[in-house]
Amino acid sequence: MAHELLQYRNLKLFWNDVALSDQLQKLNTPAYVYSRDLLTQRFQAFQDAFPKGRLHFAMKSNHNEALLKHLHQLGSHLDVVSIGEAEKAIQCGFRPDQILFSGPGKTQSEINKALEWGLFQINVESADEIQKIKKTGMRARIGLRWTPGLDVKTHPFIKTSHTDTKFGLSFEEIDQLIPEILKDPHLHLQGFSLHLGSQILDLSDFDLAFSSYLEMVLSLQKKYPEMDLKTLDIGGGLGLNYQNSDVDADTQRLQDYKKIVERHFGKIPFQILFEPGRFLVARSGGILTEVQVVKKTKNKKIVVLDAGMNNLMRPVLYQAHHQVLPLIQRKGESEIVDLVGPLCESSDFIALDRSMSALQVGDKLWVADCGAYGSSMASDYNLRPRALEIFIEDLESLRA
Ligand code: LLP
């Protein structure tokens, strides 16, 4: 059974049973609109699937302050990839011991701060990083990030576990580093970490990687019995279908993922860490945009919106598909149009060759599933102002 989050009823677009045309008609555009209700549902579904797991929301996918505060209230932990993210997380109420620090190019000053602040674990991705940690002379809880050498099925820009990647360490490197780490009384090797890549829909990639991951960890534990392992980080990466908004299919995918995770890690004595980003937040937000110009060229119809790649990079960068839906559907023939942004360069688009009902200047459109890697990747290009970000539950506060 499909349950679409986005549905037309009497030509009006409803999102999670809210009529967007009624709620958003007066909101300035472009605007990121989030739903606290959906965010809660997604977080709880993930937590319910893994009651014993520790959820470290991948903050890179969305660093909106209100969103982070809400996730904090729900009991989330965080995965950060810069000291800037860690600082903001702490401002939003997270304790340092709820924060995992990942990233392939941590600077000395980031490492100094992470250790001063007492972050939960540093996921180390290179031998150079170990040297930087040693240089501080401070006690450090570390995890070693392993690269399985697996070419997962996703866009090449968001794969992270193939052999020639800047991410993580090979088995040989890990095997070489462990004796050095164990010799240093300041270093506590408390876990391993793995992150395959993002927007993974073929779950057999997880199955394959988890199986060799566990095998590797158990063999290392045998070889180095003095290791005091506490955590096993299995990363994020669970994808969703952007062609529709079928949340029942998402639930099914989560259940399938759970089965794989349990099959491999159900009986091991370490705490399993998860780093989901997209799966928690993508469906919880969209962009409201307004049609500014409709023009016909010799062969094309071009619709210029007030949202562009400065607001949403994903279509341009990964040829990613986002549904674009008018708040009020117009009856009549649909036509093929390019939906482009207002920036002064031709790479700026939201959707190309899309079939849409006839659009007019002033029409409001909804760009779906922008809660992950939307606002967090936005830029100031052309000095267009950053889009407003608001929770649909807080719209009243704007009117006040
Ligand atoms: N953990 C690590 C170490 C990561 O690098 C990432 C994402 C995650 C967790 C979360 O992955 P997720 O559950 O969200 O798939 N900008 C791209 C996605 C880049 C993902 C980067 N790393 C996009 O818009 O598709």
At residue 400, the pLDDT reads: 62
At residue 161, the pLDDT reads: 86
Listing DSSP states for 69-106 in one string gives: HHHHHHT-EEEESSHHHHHHHHHTT--GGGEEE--TT-
Interatomic CA distance for residues 220 and 216, integer angstroms = 6
* CATH node for 6-33+283-399: 2.40.37.10
* pLDDT above 90: residue 225: yes
At residue 324 the predicted structure's pLDDT band, cuts being 50, 70 and 90, is: very high
* pLDDT above 80: residue 368: yes
At residue 308 the predicted structure's pLDDT band, cuts being 50, 70 and 90, is: very high
Interatomic CA distance for residues 143 and 141, integer angstroms = 7
At residue 398, the pLDDT reads: 76
Q: Can you read off the two tokens belonging to residue 287?
A: 């962009």
Phi and psi, residue 146, nearest 5°: -95, 140
At residue 102, the pLDDT reads: 97
Phi and psi, residue 272, nearest 5°: -90, 125
Question: pLDDT (tens digit, 9 = 90+) per residue, 47-64?
Answer: 999 999 999 999 999 999
CATH of 36-281, one of 3.20.20.10, 3.10.129.10, 3.40.50.80, 3.40.50.300: 3.20.20.10
Tokens 């549905």 correspond to 7
Per the residue annotation, which of 10, 51, 226, 344 is the catalytic one?
A: 344
Rounded to whole angstroms, what are the CA distances from 342 to 141, 304, 347, 348?
Answer: 47, 6, 11, 8
Interatomic CA distance for residues 57 and 274, integer angstroms = 8
Cβ-proximal residues to 9 (8 Å cutoff; 6+ apart), any chain: 19
Interatomic CA distance for residues 32 and 29, integer angstroms = 9
Question: What distance in angstroms lies between residue 314's CA and the mean position of ligand 1's atoms?
Answer: 13
Domain ranges of the chain: 6-33+283-399, 36-281
The residue nearest atom 19 of ligand 1, judged by CA position, is: 158
* pLDDT above 70: residue 320: yes
Q: Can you read off the two tokens belonging to residue 117?
A: 């602040």
Interatomic CA distance for residues 46 and 184, integer angstroms = 37
Question: What distance in angstroms lies between residue 116's CA and the mean position of ligand 1's atoms?
Answer: 26
Interatomic CA distance for residues 30 and 286, integer angstroms = 10
Interatomic CA distance for residues 18 and 21, integer angstroms = 9
At residue 25, the pLDDT reads: 84
Neighbours of 291 (CB within 10 A): 19
To 5 degrees, how large is the angle CA 271–CA 274–CA 278? 170
Return the ligand 1 atom nearest residue 102 CA: 3
User: Span 263-284, mean pLDDT?
Assistant: 97
The residue nearest atom 20 of ligand 1, judged by CA position, is: 198
Question: pLDDT (tens digit, 9 = 90+) per residue, 276-293?
Answer: 999 999 999 999 999 999
Question: What distance in angstroms lies between residue 150's CA and the mean position of ligand 1's atoms?
Answer: 16
Question: pLDDT (tens digit, 9 = 90+) per residue, 61-87?
Answer: 999 999 999 999 999 999 999 999 999
Ligand 1 pocket (Cβ < 6 Å) reads 58, 60-61, 79, 102, 158, 160, 195, 198-199, 235-238, 275-279, 314, 318, 372-373
Question: What distance in angstroms lies between residue 328's CA and the mean position of ligand 1's atoms?
Answer: 33
Average pLDDT, the chain: 97
At residue 371, the pLDDT reads: 98
Pocket test for ligand 1, best of 78, 167, 198, 373 (most atoms within 8 A of CB): 198
CB 337 within 8 A of CB 359: yes
| Of the candidate ranges 60-74, 158-172, 192-206, 263-277, the one whose mean pLDDT is the lowest | 158-172
Phi and psi, residue 234, nearest 5°: -110, 15
344 catalytic residue (yes or no): yes
Question: pLDDT (tens digit, 9 = 90+) per residue, 92-142?
Answer: 999 999 999 999 999 999 999 999 999 999 999 999 999 999 999 999 999
The residue nearest atom 23 of ligand 1, judged by CA position, is: 373
Q: Can you read off the two tokens belonging to residue 19?
A: 């009529």
Question: What distance in angstroms lies between residue 69's CA and the mean position of ligand 1's atoms?
Answer: 20
Return the ligand 1 atom nearest residue 320 CA: 25
Q: What share of the chain is helix, strand, coil (3-state, %, to 5)?
A: 35, 25, 40
Question: What distance in angstroms lies between residue 13's CA and the mean position of ligand 1's atoms?
Answer: 30
* pLDDT above 80: residue 1: no
At residue 219, the pLDDT reads: 97
| Of the candidate ranges 156-160, 171-175, 337-341, 390-394, the one whose mean pLDDT is the lowest | 156-160
Cβ-proximal residues to 79 (8 Å cutoff; 6+ apart), any chain: 56, 57, 58, 59, 60, 99, 100, 102, 236, 275, 277
Helix (H, G, I), strand (E, B) or coil at 45: helix
Partnered with residue 124 across adjacent β-strands are: 144
The residue nearest atom 24 of ligand 1, judged by CA position, is: 373
Pocket test for ligand 1, best of 169, 261, 278 (most atoms within 8 A of CB): 278
Q: Can you read off the two tokens belonging to residue 217?
A: 């960890």
Q: Is 385 left (phi over 0), alpha (psi -120 to 50) or beta?
A: beta
Interatomic CA distance for residues 314 and 374, integer angstroms = 7
Question: What distance in angstroms lies between residue 364's CA and the mean position of ligand 1's atoms?
Answer: 30
Pocket test for ligand 1, best of 79, 275, 375 (most atoms within 8 A of CB): 275
Q: Which of 27, 70, 17, 20 is nearest to 397 (CA)?
A: 27
Sign of CA dihedral 333, 336, 340, 344: negative
* pLDDT above 70: residue 260: yes
Tokens 């998402």 correspond to 250
Question: What distance in angstroms lies between residue 62's CA and the mean position of ligand 1's atoms?
Answer: 11
Return the ligand 1 atom nearest residue 155 CA: 25
Q: Which of 323, 307, 316, 282 is nearest to 386 (CA)?
A: 307
CB 165 within 8 A of CB 126: no
